DNA sequence: TTCACCATGAAGCTAGTT
DNA sequence: AACTAGCTTCATGGTGAA
């Protein structure tokens, strides 16, 4: 059986997509290799300093020039200059400006190396505007090629006032210590016991190994807790000028197929460790959609996609409440400081609550007492209420939520779906712009379209994202338990005049190996396996059954893994 | 301490049917 | 009028991170 693309026009080099290319971090690559012998060429007076920076991966010429510019005394300034040089050197050829509206103007302004104000590496002020100094330091560390967790850990160790150089040193020191102890938390080559390689006969061993893995969770979770990076920007945001982060995937994680798994970031302790362990030790990418739209949505994504040359969907959505809903500005009281929404959930505020708020405010003109303000703001934050009149708040309408999440207007409207059901479906969905940004790297790889296996499809967030990216959907096998959601996808499929094939199935648990093999025989395999399994038992807002990954609904994650693993095996990478 | 969180389930409501 | 099914409303708390 030939599992290559049926069109025979997409021969991908699956092994090389994460190789350090021209866009990879000089800091990172050299860091791993250790200081080079070339250090000796540096002048005697500068030698320790030059070695230090060359050890971080900067070229000798660059270091010498930076020292000359700043003098030897100010290491922090030298480092900033070096980062600027690195940015200038890499930007034009490594960032694909054709896909986004990234302007080179500010880069030109910085090209003399004197203006270091933009060290955070962002062109679009939108994204840096709200960031604290601490956040900016974090981003700088990431641009230097450090892993998000390394950066977070160093910032915890060194405190909020630590300078970049001190933080970088701290990370190096930690690495040295780890290597001396013979264990590396962030190592690309994890111990054998952690890996789970797909191989012949694996399907038979699946159940047994799954149980063993589950058992491992309790004992290992304490020693390798994943910390959530702050700011929650993942491997970078749109219009970020420097994308130097380079990650090396564990061998067993490399496709085909590509996979993309999503769930709530703030899951109970140990959950993401378990998910990551199952999904071939790929570390989650934590992203808050507040950087992509006007509503927060803290999620983690485990995927084996390349992270270079991502581009955002256009038009870029507005990121403040006032920009999205200009009419609310008229009624927005000065004492309500919100500029963005909290997470759009599956339930909305009751009419009684909005009435209680109206009554609480009716006796005051403009400035109610602080206790009233506090009460109203608290409820507004909790339920994402907007001001629609004097002293009058209201929950967001379903079509407004559709817009915020990046879906076409009326995507969930009609077809017999109730209003409550719309809220629930939307609350459970992807934020399309965020997911599309991550999936955008597939556009150049699959110019003729791709074959998608979409598990827990919901209202088709992944499908909509790929479509909006202009990626043709040759085949979509969508598995979704809810009939109304399946109808929504089918309706969208017809309305958008798709030319591919859509197959809708109801239950991931019923998707057997045989059925999967049959589908893959028909279509020649899948290029991408997307899924966001239920979060019911993980979400903080569930006060009844927050039972973790073993909960009734959330344990369906294991079906995502089971199916992905089957696809990997059938695609035959190791057969 | 404060804040946020893809929720749940019982009770009430409503439209349709007999 | 009585019944039913499906939908809406309402009240409810704990965990984890900063």
Does pLDDT of A23 surpass 90? no
Measure CA A223 to chain center: 24
Q: Are residues A305 and A348 in the same domain?
A: no
Find the CATH number of the domain harbouring A473: 3.40.50.150
Model pLDDT, residue A195: 29
**Confidence band for A80, pLDDT divided at 50, 70 and 90:** low
pLDDT in tens, A308-333: 999 999 999 999 999 999 999 999 99
Q: Are residues A441 and A559 in the same domain?
A: yes
pLDDT in tens, A180-236: 444 333 333 332 222 223 333 333 333 334 334 433 333 333 445 788 888 899 998
Looking at residues A335-361, what average pLDDT do you find? 91
Is residue A234 assigned to a domain?
Answer: no
Model pLDDT, residue A35: 28
Q: Is the CB of A350 under 7 A from strand C?
A: yes
Candidates A237, A79, A76, A63; CA nearest to A161 is: A76
Examine the fold and report which residue of A181, A209, A232 is the final residue of a domain before the chain moves on.
A181
pLDDT in tens, A231-284: 899 998 987 665 556 788 999 999 799 999 999 999 998 899 999 999 999 999
List of protein residues whose beta carbon is under 7 A from strand B: A 262-266, 296-299, 342-343, 345-347, 378, 381-382, 427-428, 456, 532-545, 553
Q: Is the CB of A394 under 7 A from strand C?
A: no
Q: Are residues A119 and A43 in the same domain?
A: yes
Does pLDDT of A483 surpass 80? yes
Examine the fold and report which residue of A181, A197, A212 is the final residue of a domain before the chain moves on.
A181
The CA distance from A404 to A384, in Å, is 12
Model pLDDT, residue A286: 94
Does pLDDT of A395 surpass 90? yes
* Average pLDDT of chain A to the nearest whole number: 75
Q: Are residues A279 and A349 in the same domain?
A: no
Q: Which of A49-63, A182-196, A532-546 has the lowest mean pLDDT?
A: A182-196
> What are the residue numbers of the active site of A?
535
Model pLDDT, residue A66: 78
Q: Are residues A351 and A256 in the same domain?
A: no
Q: Are residues A467 and A567 in the same domain?
A: yes
Is residue A424 assigned to a domain?
Answer: no
Model pLDDT, residue A78: 72
Q: How far is the CA of A481 from the C1' of B18 (A)?
A: 33
Place of tokens 């040295």: A176
Total domain count for chain A?
3
Is residue A201 assigned to a domain?
Answer: no
Is there a contact between A433 and A289 (Cβ–Cβ < 8 Å)?
Answer: yes
Does pLDDT of A177 surpass 90? no
Q: How far is the CA of A562 from the C1' of C2 (A)?
A: 50
Higher local confidence (pLDDT), A153 or A305: A305
Model pLDDT, residue A84: 62
Q: Are residues A441 and A544 in the same domain?
A: yes
Q: A331 lies in which domain range? A: 321-404
Is residue A14 assigned to a domain?
Answer: no
Model pLDDT, residue A165: 73
User: Which bases of strand C have any atom within 7 Å of the beta carbon of a protein residue?
Assistant: 6-18
Examine the fold and report which residue of A181, A201, A223 is the final residue of a domain before the chain moves on.
A181
Nucleotide nearest to A429 (CA to C1'): B6
Is residue A200 assigned to a domain?
Answer: no
Place of tokens 């050299």: A30
Q: How far is the CA of A34 from the C1' of C6 (A)?
A: 67
Is residue A420 assigned to a domain?
Answer: no
Does pLDDT of A422 surpass 80? yes
Q: Is the CB of A228 under 7 A from strand C?
A: yes
**Confidence band for A513, pLDDT divided at 50, 70 and 90:** very high
Higher local confidence (pLDDT), A391 or A202: A391
For A76-126, the DSSP string reads HHHHHHHHHHHHHHHHHHHS-GGGS---SHHHHHHTTS---TTTT-BS-HH
Is residue A8 assigned to a domain?
Answer: no
Looking at residues A472-500, what average pLDDT do you find? 95
Q: Are residues A489 and A559 in the same domain?
A: yes
Higher local confidence (pLDDT), A386 or A59: A386
Looking at residues A431-453, what average pLDDT do you find? 97
Is there a contact between A285 and A303 (Cβ–Cβ < 8 Å)?
Answer: yes
**Confidence band for A139, pLDDT divided at 50, 70 and 90:** confident
Candidates A263, A299, A244, A342; CA nearest to A28 is: A244
Higher local confidence (pLDDT), A464 or A225: A464
Q: Are residues A35 and A159 in the same domain?
A: yes
A450-455/A392-395 β-pairing:
unpaired
Q: How far is the CA of A343 from the C1' of C12 (A)?
A: 20
Q: Are residues A46 and A153 in the same domain?
A: yes
Model pLDDT, residue A531: 94
Q: Are residues A308 and A345 in the same domain?
A: no
Closest residue (Cα, C1') to B6: A428
Q: How far is the CA of A416 from the C1' of B10 (A)?
A: 25
pLDDT in tens, A363-388: 888 889 988 998 999 999 999 999 99
- What tokens appear for A69 in the block? 């510019």
Nucleotide nearest to A270 (CA to C1'): C16
Share of chain A above pLDDT 90, in %: 45
Nucleotide nearest to A417 (CA to C1'): C7
Nucleotide nearest to A351 (CA to C1'): C9
Higher local confidence (pLDDT), A497 or A71: A497
Does pLDDT of A118 surpass 70? no
Looking at residues A17-43, what average pLDDT do you find? 32
Candidates A171, A183, A179; CA nearest to A146 is: A171
Looking at residues A518-542, what average pLDDT do you find? 94
């Amino acid at each position: 059986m030939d599992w290559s693309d049926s069109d025979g026009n997409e021969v991908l080099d699956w092994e090389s997509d994460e190789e350090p290319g021209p866009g990879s971090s000089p800091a990172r690559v050299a860091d791993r290799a250790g200081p080079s012998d070339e250090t000796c060429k540096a002048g005697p007076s500068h030698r320790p300093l030059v070695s230090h920076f060359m050890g971080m991966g900067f070229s000798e010429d660059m270091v010498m020039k930076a020292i000359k510019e700043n003098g030897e005394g100010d290491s922090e300034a030298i480092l900033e200059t070096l980062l600027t040089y690195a940015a200038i050197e890499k930007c034009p050829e490594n960032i694909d400006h054709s896909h986004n509206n990234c302007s080179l103007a500010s880069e030109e302004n910085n090209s003399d190396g004197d203006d270091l104000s933009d060290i955070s590496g962002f062109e679009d002020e939108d994204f840096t505007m709200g960031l604290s100094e601490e956040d900016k330091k974090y981003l700088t560390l990431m641009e230097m090629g450090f892993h998000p967790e390394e950066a977070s850990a160093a910032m915890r160790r060194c405190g909020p006032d630590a300078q970049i150089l001190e933080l970088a040193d701290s990370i190096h020191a930690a690495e040295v210590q780890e290597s001396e102890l013979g264990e590396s938390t962030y190592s690309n080559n994890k111990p054998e016991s952690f890996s789970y390689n797909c191989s012949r006969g694996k399907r038979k061993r699946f159940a047994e190994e799954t149980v063993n893995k589950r058992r491992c969770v309790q004992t290992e979770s304490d020693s390798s807790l994943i910390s959530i990076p702050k700011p929650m920007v993942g491997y970078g945001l749109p219009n970020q000028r420097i994308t130097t982060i380079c990650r090396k995937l564990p061998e067993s994680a490399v496709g085909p197929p590509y996979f993309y798994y999503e769930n709530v970031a703030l899951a109970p302790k140990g959950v993401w460790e378990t998910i990551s362990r199952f999904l071939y030790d790929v570390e989650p990418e934590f992203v808050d959609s507040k950087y992509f739209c006007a509503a927060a949505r803290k999620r983690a994504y485990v995927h084996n996609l390349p992270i270079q040359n991502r581009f955002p969907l256009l038009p870029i959505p507005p990121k403040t409440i006032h920009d999205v809903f200009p009419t609310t500005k008229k009624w927005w009281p000065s004492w309500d400081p919100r500029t963005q929404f909290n997470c759009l959930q599956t339930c909305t505020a009751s009419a009684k609550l909005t009435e209680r708020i109206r009554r609480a405010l009716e006796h005051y003109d403009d400035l109610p007492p602080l206790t009233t303000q506090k009460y109203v703001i608290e409820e507004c934050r909790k339920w994402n209420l907007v001001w629609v009149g004097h002293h009058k708040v209201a929950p967001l309408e379903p079509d407004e939520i559709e817009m915020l999440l990046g879906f076409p207007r009326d995507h969930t409207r009609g077809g017999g779906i109730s209003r409550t059901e719309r809220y629930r479906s939307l609350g459970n969905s992807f934020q399309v712009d965020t997911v599309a940004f991550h999936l955008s790297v597939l556009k150049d790889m699959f110019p003729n379209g791709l074959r998608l296996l979409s598990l827990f499809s919901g209202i088709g967030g992944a499908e909509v994202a790929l479509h909006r990216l202009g990626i043709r959907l040759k085949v979509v096998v969508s598995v979704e338990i809810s009939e109304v959601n399946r109808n929504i996808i089918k309706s969208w499929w017809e309305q958008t005049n798709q030319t591919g094939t859509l197959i809708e199935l109801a239950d991931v648990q019923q998707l057997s190996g045989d059925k999967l093999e049959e589908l893959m025989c028909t279509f020649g395999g899948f290029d991408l396996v997307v899924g966001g399994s239920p979060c019911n038992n993980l979400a903080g807002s569930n006060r009844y059954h927050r039972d973790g990954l073993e909960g009734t609904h959330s344990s369906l994650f294991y079906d995502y893994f089971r199916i992905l693993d089957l696809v990997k095996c059938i695609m035959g990478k190791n057969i």
